[in-house]
Amino acid sequence: MAHVVVVGGGIVGLAVARELASRGSRVTVLEKERRWGAHQSGHNSNVVHAGLYYKPGSLKARMSVAGNASMVAFAREHGVPVEVCGKLVVACSADELPRLHDLAARAEANGVPAKLISATEALEHEPHVSCVAALRVESTAIIDFPAVCEALVGELAEHDLRLQSPVMAIRAVTGGVEVLTPQGVVRADALVNCAGLHSDRVARMAGLTPRATIVPFRGEYYEMTRTELVRGLIYPVPDPTLPFLGVHLTRMLDGSVHAGPNAVLALRREGYRWRDFSFADVTDVAKFPGTWKLARRYAKTGLEEVLRSLSRKRFAASLARLVPEVTEADIVRAEAGVRAQAMLPDGSLVDDFLVESAPRQVHVLNAPSPAATGSLEIAKHVADLTRSVIE
């Protein structure tokens, strides 16, 4: 029986641990925080994505589509709240129609159930929306991802799960790895790095030189006070020249409506507020050449995101493109999230999942959205790689 140490107790790390355990491995999970899913897994929109945005054939596309089905099934089996509500992607002007049609074609290529509908038909789903046409996506769901993490922990009760156990050092040894924690050394046959915001640092600690560096982006959310304006999920047509989807509206399981996120550079890898600052993290970002190349490429967009971060009026105006009745008075600040975005030295963002391996090691270096959606499928892929690095 192989012993595998998994670094990171977010949804991907826990799903990987569960998959390895189901294949007969003995598992140790090391999480530096006091609770499971403390960062990206517990600070997101709680949407189970359908898989329509991603390049056909990519890991993102395959794992999102398959993950949509497996995540909903897992939630229902384990009593985790989930609702398959569908969503609207709306074209707010005629010049967005070609992109909406391209998105419909991509949905078809990926096997995502989606249908182009008229503005009148869109009003049947969302009476307050403003659009010239929309794409109705049926398989999108809302879920409680922290509850999914707890369900995964429940399935690992017979294994070694350690909170408040940060990794301090990693050493390759004959036939395995040794991982130093404040509680002592963990020796295992293999290591799987699912450390999210710190995945590149863990990889370097293990002796790798990862192709990508993690640059943290904070996504800020507001909560709607007039929840009657939104029935489900309303998304804009994404601009393919920009790296993020744009602000959208999401009705949560408890009936609240979240608006966002924007995307601004975080001043700390776990920087959920502007005042959260780490000199070491900022220095790493400033020294990385990709940061400045990205900044030059998206200077105007970046400035707009910062201004929207600082101005509730601007944020509300972005939402009013989707639902014109939304005003500044209708939104209040909500909890933010931080996205672990892998970036290459040329300033390009790693679009797909990125996993690198070495003898006795597997490193998940980029697992952005839809990682939570596809976590059970990512786990199968990582477990296959883990077996190959041990054999």
- Start-to-end Cα distance in the chain: 12
Mean pLDDT of 371-378: 96
What average pLDDT is seen over the chain?
94
Token digits for 349? 């963002």
Closest to 164 (Cα-Cα) out of 10, 39, 34, 38? 34
Closest to 163 (Cα-Cα) out of 38, 42, 32? 32
- pLDDT band at residue 369, thresholds of 50, 70 and 90? confident
Q: What percent of the chain has pLDDT over 70?
A: 99
Residue 243 is predicted with a pLDDT of 63
Mean pLDDT of 65-69: 96
Mean pLDDT of 260-287: 93
d(CA 108, CA 113): 7
Mean pLDDT of 111-132: 97
Cβ within 8 Å of residue 132, ≥6 positions away: 91, 92, 93, 94, 96, 97, 119
- Partners of residue 371 on adjacent β-strands: none
Closest to 306 (Cα-Cα) out of 218, 224, 202? 218
Residue 170 is predicted with a pLDDT of 97
How long, in residues, is the chain? 391
Residue 121 is predicted with a pLDDT of 97
Residue 299 is predicted with a pLDDT of 82
Query: What digits encode the pLDDT tens for the residues 82-97?
Result: 999 999 999 999 999 9
For the whole model, what pTM was predicted?
0.95
Note whether 22 and 156 are within 8 A (CB): no
Query: What digits encode the pLDDT tens for the residues 15-62?
Result: 999 999 999 999 999 999 999 999 999 998 899 999 999 889 898 999
Query: What digits encode the pLDDT tens for the residues 162-212?
Result: 999 999 999 999 999 999 999 999 999 999 999 999 999 999 999 999 999
Give the pairing of strands 160-162 and 133-137.
unpaired
Query: What digits encode the pLDDT tens for the residues 217-263?
Result: 999 999 999 999 999 999 999 887 766 778 899 999 999 999 989 88
Residue 310 is predicted with a pLDDT of 86
Residue 295 is predicted with a pLDDT of 87
Query: What digits encode the pLDDT tens for the residues 296-315?
Result: 988 888 888 888 888 999 99
